[in-house]
C-alpha cells in the first residue's frame, strides 16, 4: 500500500513537472522569444554541469572499485590461474587508461566549447594522418592482447601429459559431482553409459583391469599440491560445468564425450585460510550451467593437501574392486559383449 502511494506520488510529480515546463514554454512564446534557442548563459551552465558530472562519475567509479574490489575472488590458487589473472589485469589496465582519457576529453570538451552566439564550428572533414594513427594504434594493442590470450589458451587447453600428472575423473549428473582417482596404475578403467545400472552410477566396466584399483569418491575432492592434475570429465545426463573459481579453471561436462582440463594447485586449503585470515574458507567446484531445478546446490568441496596428506588420504579410500572380488567380477557382463554373457548369468 505504501509502495503504491510512493509510485503514485512519483507519477504525479512527473506530470506536474512536464505541465510546468509546458507553461514556461507557452509564456516564452507569448514574449516573442525563440522558444527552442537556449541563451548563452544556459549553455554555459550546462557546460559547467558536465564538469560536475565528470567529477561525480569518476568518484562513483572509484567508490565501486574500493567497495567491490575486495569482494572479488582471492589470488589464483593454480599456476595457470596466476597467468590468467595477470592477463586479465593487463587487459583491464589498458581498458581503464583509455576509458579515463576518453571520458575526460568527452566531458571537458562539452564544458570548454559550450554554445556561444556567433560561434562557428571548424570544418574538419578528413585527415589521413589522424586516421592512420587511430587505426594502427588500437590494431597493434589488440594484436598484443590476442597473441597473449591465444598463447595462454593453448597452454591451458593442450592435453596434459598423463604420465606425469595425477589422473582424476570428474563425473557429473543431476545434481552432484563424483570423483574417480586412477589408482596405482594412474589409468582410469573404461566406462560405458550402457553399464549405468543400480549402484554402478559411473557405468564402470568391471572387465577392464585398469579400473579395479580406481577409487570412487563422493563429497570431497582432494588434490595434491604442486602436481599437475589431469581431469577427465564426463556427464551422465545433461551439460554441466566443472568450474574451479579459485583455480581459474572451467570445463563443460557433456554427455557422450570426455572433456579435459588440467592445472597445478599452488596453495593448500590450510595455507589459503591463513592468507585470507578466514578459518572457514574452502575451495569448491561449482556447476555453472543451468542444469535443472537443483542446479544452485550442485557443488563439491575441494581440499588441496600437501603431497603427504594427500597420499595418506588417498590410501584410506576403497578400491573399486579389491583383489578378493576380482575373480568373480571378471565374469560379469560388459557392454562390448552383452549377448554372449546373457545366458550364462
Between 249 and 291, name the residue whose CB sits nearer to Cu ion.
291
CA distances 34 to 46, 83, 121, Å, are: 19, 62, 22
Q: Which is nearer to Cu ion, 287 or 300 (CB)?
A: 287
Beta carbon nearer to Cu ion, 202 or 321: 202
186: which DSSP letter? Answer: T
Contact 254, 239 (CB under 8 A): yes
Question: For residues 163, 164, 166 and 172, what is the CA-based torsion angle, rounded to 10 degrees?
Answer: -60
Binding mask 236-255 for Cu ion (x = CB under 5 A): ----x---------------
State in angstroms the smallest separation of the CB of 250 from Cu ion.
13
Which segment (2-10, 155-163, 221-229, 232-240) binds Cu ion by CB under 5 A?
A: 232-240
Q: Which is nearer to Cu ion, 43 or 252 (CB)?
A: 252
Q: Give the nearer residue to Cu ion in terms of CB position, either 232 or 289.
A: 289
272 binds Cu ion (CB under 5 A): no
Beta pairing, strands 215-218 & 176-181: antiparallel
Residue 259 beta carbon to Cu ion: minimum distance, rounded to whole angstroms: 14
Nearer to Cu ion, 293 or 327 (CB): 293
Q: Does 215 bind Cu ion (CB under 5 A)?
A: no
Q: Is 287 in the site for Cu ion (CB under 5 A)?
A: yes
- How many chain residues touch Cu ion (CB under 5 A)? 4
Task: Tell me whether residue 168 or residue 298 sits nearer to Cu ion (CB atom).
Answer: 298
Q: Rounded to an integer, what distance in angstroms lies between the CA atom of residue 147 and that of residue 241?
A: 27
Is residue 298 at the binding interface for Cu ion, with CB under 5 A as the rule?
yes
Nearest to 258 by CA among 180, 343, 206, 312: 180
Among the residue ranges 89-97, 194-202, 288-296, 318-326, the one whose residues contact Cu ion (CB under 5 A): 288-296
CB 294 within 8 A of CB 175: yes
Verify binding: residue 233, Cu ion, rule CB under 5 A.
no
Kindly state the smallest distance separating residue 269's Cβ from Cu ion, in Å.
Answer: 23
Minimum CB distance to Cu ion, residue 160 (Å): 24
Q: Which helix (H) or strand (E) holds 122?
A: none
Residues 6+ apart with CB under 8 A from 245: 73, 284, 286
**Cell 557546460 identifies what position?**
47
User: Each residue of 41-77: b (16+ CB within 10 Å) or e?
Assistant: eebeeebeebeeebeeeeeeeeeeeeeeeeeeeeebb
Is residue 179 a contact point for Cu ion (CB under 5 A)?
no
Which of the ranges 91-99, 124-132, 177-185, 293-301 carries the binding residues for Cu ion, by CB under 5 A? 293-301
Q: Which stretch binds Cu ion (CB under 5 A): 45-53, 147-155, 194-202, 294-302?
A: 294-302
Nearer to Cu ion, 107 or 171 (CB): 171
Cβ neighbors of 77 (< 8 A, separation 6 or more) are 246, 247, 265, 266, 267, 272, 283, 304
The span from the CA of 314 to the CA of 311, in Å, is 5
- If one asks whether residue 300 binds Cu ion (CB under 5 A), the answer comes out as no
Is residue 160 near Cu ion by the rule CB under 5 A? Answer: no
Q: Which residues, 18 to 57, sit near Cu ion by CB under 5 A?
A: none
- Are residues 264 and 192 in contact, defined by beta-carbon separation less than 8 angstroms? no
Establish if 291 lies at the interface with Cu ion (CB under 5 A): yes
Q: Is 234 a residue that touches Cu ion (CB under 5 A)?
A: no
Provide the minimum distance between the beta carbon of 254 and Cu ion in the complex, in angstroms, as a whole number: 12
The size of the chain, in residues, is: 345
Cell reading at 157: 587447453
Return residues touching Cu ion (CB under 5 A). Answer: 240, 287, 291, 298
Amino acid at each position: 500500500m505504501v509502495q503504491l502511494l510512493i509510485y503514485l506520488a512519483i507519477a504525479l510529480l512527473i506530470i506536474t513537472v512536464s505541465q510546468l515546463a509546458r507553461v514556461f514554454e507557452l509564456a516564452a512564446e507569448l514574449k516573442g522569444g525563440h522558444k527552442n534557442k537556449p541563451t548563452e548563459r544556459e549553455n554555459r551552465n550546462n557546460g559547467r554541469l558536465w564538469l560536475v558530472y565528470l567529477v561525480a562519475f569518476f568518484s562513483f567509479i572509484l567508490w565501486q572499485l574500493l567497495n567491490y574490489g575486495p569482494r572479488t575472488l582471492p589470488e589464483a590458487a593454480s599456476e595457470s590461474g596466476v597467468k590468467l589473472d595477470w592477463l586479465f589485469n593487463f587487459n583491464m589496465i589498458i581498458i581503464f587508461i583509455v576509458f579515463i582519457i576518453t571520458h575526460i576529453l568527452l566531458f571537458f570538451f562539452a564544458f570548454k566549447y559550450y554554445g556561444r552566439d556567433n560561434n562557428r564550428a571548424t570544418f574538419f572533414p578528413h585527415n589521413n594522418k589522424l586516421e592512420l594513427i587511430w587505426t594502427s594504434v588500437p590494431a597493434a594493442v589488440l594484436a598484443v592482447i590476442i597473441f597473449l590470450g591465444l598463447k595462454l589458451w593453448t597452454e591451458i587447453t593442450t592435453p596434459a601429459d598423463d604420465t606425469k600428472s595425477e589422473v582424476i575423473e570428474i563425473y557429473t549428473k543431476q545434481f552432484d559431482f563424483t570423483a574417480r582417482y586412477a589408482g596405482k596404475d594412474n589409468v582410469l578403467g573404461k566406462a560405458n553409459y550402457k553399464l549405468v545400472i543400480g549402484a554402478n552410477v559411473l557405468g564402470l566396466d568391471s572387465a577392464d583391469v585398469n579400473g579395479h584399483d580406481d577409487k570412487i569418491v563422493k563429497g570431497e575432492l582432494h588434490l595434491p599440491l604442486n602436481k599437475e592434475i589431469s581431469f577427465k570429465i564426463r556427464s551422465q545426463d545433461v551439460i554441466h560445468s566443472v568450474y574451479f573459481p579459485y583455480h581459474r579453471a572451467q570445463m563443460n561436462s557433456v554427455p557422450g564425450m570426455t572433456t579435459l582440463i588440467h592445472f597445478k594447485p599452488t596453495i593448500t586449503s590450510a595455507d589459503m585460510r591463513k592468507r585470507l585470515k578466514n578459518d572457514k574458507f574452502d575451495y569448491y567446484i561449482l556447476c555453472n550451467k543451468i542444469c535443472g531445478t537443483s542446479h544452485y546446490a550442485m557443488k563439491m568441496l575441494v581440499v588441496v593437501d600437501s603431497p603427504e596428506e594427500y597420499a595418506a588420504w588417498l590410501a584410506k579410500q576403497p578400491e573399486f574392486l579389491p583383489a578378493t572380488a576380482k575373480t568373480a567380477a571378471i565374469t560379469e557382463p560388459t557392454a562390448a559383449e552383452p549377448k554372449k554373457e546373457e545366458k550364462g548369468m
